[in-house]
Amino acid sequence: MDNFFDKALHYLGKKKGDQNLALNIGSMDGVMFDEMIGYTNMYNFKVLYVEPMPYLFEKLKNNISSPTAMFENSAISDYIGEIEMITIDEVAINEGLVHSCFYGMSAVYPPKNGLGSEGDRLTVEKYGKRVTVPCITFDTLIERHNIKNIDIIKVDAEGHDGKIFKQFNLGLRQPKVIRLEWVNLSEEEQSEIINILVGSNYKYEILGQDITALREDLYNELLSNYVEPLPVAVNRTSNVTVVTGIWDIKRDSLTESWSRSFNHYLNNFEKLLKSPDNFIIFIEKEYEQWVWNRRDKSSTLVIIKELEWFRQNEHIFNKIQKIRTTPDWYNQTGWLTDSTQAKLEMYNPIVMSKMFLLNDASIMDPFNSSHLVWVDGALTNTVHEGYFWHDKVIPKLEKYFNKFSFVCFPYDGKVEIHGFKYQEICEYSESEVNRVARGGIFGGPKDSISKLNGIYYNLLNETLSRDLMGTEESLFTIMTYKYPELIQFYEIEMNGLLSLFFENLKNDTLVVKQEKSETNTINKKNKNNVALYVLTYNSPKQFEKLCISFEEYDRNFLTVPKKYLLNNSLNHDTDIEYKELCEKYGFEEIKKDNLGICGGRQFISEHSDENGFDYHFFFEDDMFFYLGNDEFCRNGFRRKIKDFFNIVMDIVWDDDFDFLKWNFSEFFGDNTKQWAWHNVPAGVRSQLFPEKPVKTTNDVEAAPYLKYKNIKSKRGLPYANGEIYYCNWPQVVSKEGNRKMFLDTKWAHPYEQTWMSFIYQETIKGNIKPSILLATPTEHDRFEHYSSNERREN
């Protein structure tokens, strides 16, 4: 089991909700950079917020409105009194004099975090501000706020975490979850912390820059409740997995127009299960064998969810029951009185949990899916089953649901939507509502689901608290209006029947829509329409080692893209071995003799464009994924990133970059300095680099620092944009980027330096949008050498 923190907080939230007590030590303003805020909002945790910096503490109190929140404006250390801290002056941040990443950054003086690094020394000397703040011990904190039992402790104290942790007294207090910032602690402190955790019966995980520890009983509960992903599904029909389920809620007890037998649902569910796609199915234990009589275990995960599970969140369940039995609600309109959501206790608790089930499926997914879609179990009542098993439309959703997606129908009613008052739904949507999102099918990229689930939970909780209720479709509708940067939709006819959507999906005639947004555009590229190119010369062994690194680092590089080996070899004694390796790893071989390194790079660019790929990867045969034991490169960036392929594709697609370099540290240097400075023409250098207008040496360190603009993170993998220079190290390039970098302007005999100079100048003009990972996942290793005058450059 991995990702302890996320799994544990979701589990505790669903189990105990607002009964959980969390300590958030180092809260900043309670929102920015706070990894607790999503869980706190979703599950209404009771939280004691601790923040020593006065200006952040005032923002914290303004940002957190929960009536159960507690606040402490002190630093936590091993004594009572005062302590000196250092921070970056807020005025300098607000006026843009320093990068926004310094917002909220502070530390006990002298600092152990980034404020103490050589790279930030000048910033700290110029804008650093020392502040004396009150200081108390951990015991004092607990006594002052009358804390009896602690469920979760999160500490982000910028290197002071060790001193705080040692006061926890795990023999007396036994929090279920402990989270510490790991990266700023000394090796001695790290060793001591691990010894204490192990000796106190905690299981721990070091992930990224943090360590998370779970009390052993909670860890065992999680193991028994979560299904570990299988390495690879046996039946890999597509990257899209269907999530579905049915429950017997006694609908046959309703009046005739609303009544349906459960056999009606089973019959339609059976039609859906004929689909060859991978399925995650939520169902009662009573019907588990019924599923296995119709599905193969290689493509199916069954998760038992009894009806009682939908009652567990009493906060939500009880609100639903109160509203549905209130005359003011069910008498809004004639049809609502005898409807399923009014008459059946379990109808709304189930349909309003679809998003939660989709989120659970994203955690338990054994198929390494890129996309998950919820499909109603009885959808074949109105959508012909042939779309699923004959036309095989589900895999096509990978292309069309490249963002979280709903299907909507036009709506012109002005009273209510499924029982949700119209004026209020417009209020939440911040727009006049003229469409309704269907609940029969929805979903998108797996990594988008958690965020949408949090938004949905907050919306559900808030609207129920105001006695506003429709069905899940009412809330989905609001979300399509309110979050256009996260959600897109497809339109069907006013009758609301989903058959038109599936017909258009079959025929590839779907047209994506989204609520208008000045800052948001639709990216029509398909993340999985991608090619992988390897450039090789006279060494099958080099190529084989690269393929092995794909296999061990992230097998998606071998299973998702169309793969090409551009073989520039002059030694034809290698032909048979290359052929065998291509067959083994699924590469199509292209023989072009000695095109040269840059000549081969140009050919790959042209081949990718001619074949219509939206993205392509580029590797030389001496650039491998790192399989060694080091966790960090020489510059302190991570070497191993789980699910690297999917995260990289999400980054380049979400931000619509023209190219994304992968390595901060390279063989001869790194991306600290601007290498393009060495290669631009002298006249251009003097214009673009007035601080260093003349080149007098080839020393790498002579170049000015590379200018970064923004730093972001995707699923724990940081990346930066700005004036990123081009080089022939591993990268992913978009279709438009490919044309701007290599095709719109061509050279008869290009060199790497030529492209570096040209692409840098186009970047400065705003014509090319590059980025780089703040990581070092690959390495250079030429172990079979050739004469330098043997292989051409171009």
Whether this prediction's pTM lies above 0.85 is answered by no
What average pLDDT does the segment 229-234 reach?
42
In the chain, CATH 3.40.50.150 covers 4-225
Instruction: Round to whole Å and give the CA distance between 391 and 388.
Output: 6
The CATH fold assigned to 4-225 is Rossmann fold (3.40.50)
Instruction: Round to whole Å and give the CA distance between 460 and 471.
Output: 10
Asked whether 128 and 89 are in contact (CB, 8 A), the reply is yes
Asked whether 568 and 535 are in contact (CB, 8 A), the reply is yes
pLDDT in tens, 264-322: 899 999 999 999 999 999 999 999 999 999 999 899 999 999 999 998 878 889 999 99
Give residue 526's pLDDT: 83
Alpha helix (H) residue ranges in 370-522? 386-389, 397-400, 422-429, 446-465, 472-482, 499-506
In the chain, CATH 3.90.550.10 covers 528-625
Instruction: Round to whole Å and give the CA distance between 455 and 257.
Output: 35
Is the predicted pLDDT of residue 229 greater than 60, yes or no? no
What average pLDDT does the segment 513-539 reach?
81
Q: What is the dihedral of CA 158, 161, 163, 166, to 10 degrees?
A: 180
Asked whether 75 and 49 are in contact (CB, 8 A), the reply is no
Instruction: Round to whole Å and give the CA distance between 489 and 473.
Output: 13
Say how far residue 128 (Cα) sits from the centre of its chain.
33
pLDDT in tens, 389-419: 999 999 999 989 989 999 999 998 778 889 9
Give residue 596's pLDDT: 86
Mean pLDDT, rounded, of the chain: 89
3-class DSSP assignment, residue 110: coil
Give residue 233's pLDDT: 40
Give residue 334's pLDDT: 85
Give residue 56's pLDDT: 87
Render 633-690 in DSSP notation, one character per residue. -TTS-BS--TTHHHHHHHHHHHTT-SEEE--SB-SS-BTTB-THHHHS-HHHHHHH-T
Q: Which residues contact 67 (CB under 8 A, 6 or more apart)?
A: none
Is the predicted pLDDT of residue 649 greater than 90, yes or no? yes
Architecture of domain 240-506: Alpha-Beta Complex (3.90)
Give residue 626's pLDDT: 95
The CATH fold assigned to 528-625 is Spore Coat Polysaccharide Biosynthesis Protein SpsA; Chain A (3.90.550)
